[in-house]
Amino acid sequence: MLRSRAARERFREIGLTDSAGVYLQFFLASAVMQLLFWVLMVLRWWYGIGDGSVDSELAEWSTFAMTLMMGLGWMLLVAFGVGFSLWPILYQSMTFSPSLPKAVLWINVGGQVLIAVAHLLIFSHPSIATQMLTMATTMICFSIALACAPAIHLLRQGRQRSIEHGSMPFLPVLIILLIAFTTMIVWLARTADDDVKFFTEGLYLLLNIDLLWMSVGLVCALGHFGRRLEWPILVGWRAKIGLRILILLFVIHALAMLADHTRWNDVWWIQLPFVLPLLWVFILLGPKCIFEIVAKGAPHSRPVMAAVLWLPIIAAIAVYEALYTTTGLSNARYLLVFGVGVQALFGYGIWYHQDHKHEPENNRRQPMLFLIALNASLVIHVVLMSTNQLEISILKDHNLTGQFELITLAIAMISWLLWWLWELLFSLHDWHRIPMFYGTLHQDDDPYEIAEGSI
């Protein structure tokens, strides 16, 4: 009791909980923008954008904008919500003012809304729609670059030394900064010749999907199992050199991607390095330790656990795609984004919210509908891919199966929206400014060194 009161006083004194509830705005915005995203997807399908109803170039730009709205829009809003709420508490330093999260949120949401408006004008005023997409890209890129500023400030203060896993949580932040610049370049170079476009496309895939979602998955899983649940998953030599090896593997993958996309080298294994960082992320998470503890029935977030389980499956699919197909790693990347990135992020977000409600770990409600629907959709995707590639027809009607995949994905995403609406509008739980566990994270267990003195 005394300990938690002391923590409250200390937090109030430094103002560390000033931004504690900001994640609620981010999560709600993410849920609403996600709904808008799916409405747009339906409209795109309805009007046949991509099937020749508009100029093919414009359709390509529209697809790019939609991936932007998803990857750097409503998905990243969840990450920013957690980041802005957690950073001050975690690193014991307030490196931003209250208006920064608001600015990031509104500029990002503004960009997403502009993408939606641009799609309404895509038939009647294509040139205005293109201009709007440029504005939207600018806003989204600027918003994510802004969000990195406090994290970089923390790094400069050397705060990464104050917590477990050191600089690893900063990995996505630094990648996001690169993404902001690269995405802008990719968009501005969209009318360039084929070689430049092919190169920028490679950069985009490398940063916006591979590096970003691998690192987000890693940080969420590590933060959940390693820090929050205090499971000893990253210890020993892996803790010491884990990050360095990961960066090295990222670099190898990046070089291979760039070699491929500059048409400098086209050897059969050029896409295989994608698997290396993915498997290393899996190894870093200490799967043996996680499975042992989970088998004992320890409480944990199931979406985060499911995300970890997808890692080796995606690696296997990537190997198959790299060696036996000519379509690139599109399926592996799709699974990486939804199976690992989104699942881990949303699972982490929900657990964090439950920490603010001070719910006992054993009694926490799991987002089962989200979990089942999303994973069902991903499994259907894998089955469809396999039947297409192996030319076997286990499921005779592929169209129906494809629709079923989309419907389950939509159910998963809508369940996320409904979950948040319920939590924000109808939840009768108490909400605490200082989340469970984090309030006492930095407190000395033996502040007066009584144990030492007694020896």
Partner 1 sequence: MSPLFVRERHYILCLSVGRLMWDAKGRLDHRWAAGSYLDFLLASALMLFVFIVGVGLMFQFNQVWYVENLDLMEHIGYIIAAMGWMAAIMLAIGFGLLPFVHQSAPYDKSILRLCIALNISGQAFLIAAVFTFDRESIIAFGTVGVTLLSLQFIVIAGPARQLLNDRNRDVDPVAGFSGLMPLAMPIVGVLSLLSWLAVEVELSRLLFEAILIDVFLPMVCVGTFLGHFNRRLEWDITSREGAHRLFLVMLFLGLVHVVSVWGAHTDLFSVPRLSYTLPLIYTVAFLGCRPDRILRNVVAKRPHSHLILAAYWWIPAAILMSVIEIREGFDPLHGRHIMLLGVGTMTLWGFAHWMHYDHCHIPLKERSAGWPLLIGMSLAIVFYFVKGMDVLGFMDAPDWERKAALILAVIAMGYPAIWWFWETFFHRGEWHRIPMFYGNLHDETDPYELGSEE
Residues 6+ away with beta carbon under 8 Å from 336: 209, 210, 213, 214, 217, 278, 314
Of residues 163-192, those binding partner 1 (CB under 8 A):
184, 188, 191
* Least distance (Å) between residue 94 CB and partner 1: 8
Distance from C-alpha of 47 to C-alpha of 433, rounded to nearest angstrom: 46
Of residues 100-159, those binding partner 1 (CB under 8 A):
100, 102-103, 106-107, 127-128, 131-132, 134-135, 138-139, 142, 146
The answer to the question of residue 97 lying near partner 1 (CB under 8 A) is yes
Instruction: Count other Cβ atoms within 10 Å, centred on residue 448.
Output: 8
Are the CB atoms for 24 and 440 separated by under 8 Å?
no
DSSP codes of every residue in 391-446: T--SSS-HHHHHHHHHHHHHHHHHHHHHHHHIIIII--S---SSPTTGGGTTS-SS
The answer to the question of residue 236 lying near partner 1 (CB under 8 A) is no
Nearer to partner 1, 146 or 257 (CB): 146
* Least distance (Å) between residue 208 CB and partner 1: 18
- From the list 23, 18, 17, 16, the residue with the least C-alpha distance to 424 is 23
Nearer to partner 1, 99 or 399 (CB): 99
The piece of 56-64, 94-102, 291-299, 310-318 that touches partner 1 (CB under 8 A) is 94-102
Distance from C-alpha of 194 to C-alpha of 362, rounded to nearest angstrom: 55
Residues 6+ away with beta carbon under 8 Å from 110: 139
* Least distance (Å) between residue 60 CB and partner 1: 16
Residues 6+ away with beta carbon under 8 Å from 251: none
The answer to the question of residue 327 lying near partner 1 (CB under 8 A) is no
Tally the residues of the chain: 455
Nearer to partner 1, 45 or 181 (CB): 181
Are the CB atoms for 73 and 29 separated by under 8 Å?
no
Max distance between CA atoms of the chain, in angstroms, equals: 81
The piece of 88-96, 226-234, 272-280, 416-424 that touches partner 1 (CB under 8 A) is 88-96
The answer to the question of residue 96 lying near partner 1 (CB under 8 A) is yes
Nearer to partner 1, 85 or 343 (CB): 85
Nearer to partner 1, 18 or 164 (CB): 18
* Least distance (Å) between residue 418 CB and partner 1: 30
Binding site for partner 1 (CB under 8 A): 15, 94-100, 102-103, 106-107, 127-128, 131-132, 134-135, 138-139, 142, 146, 184, 188, 191
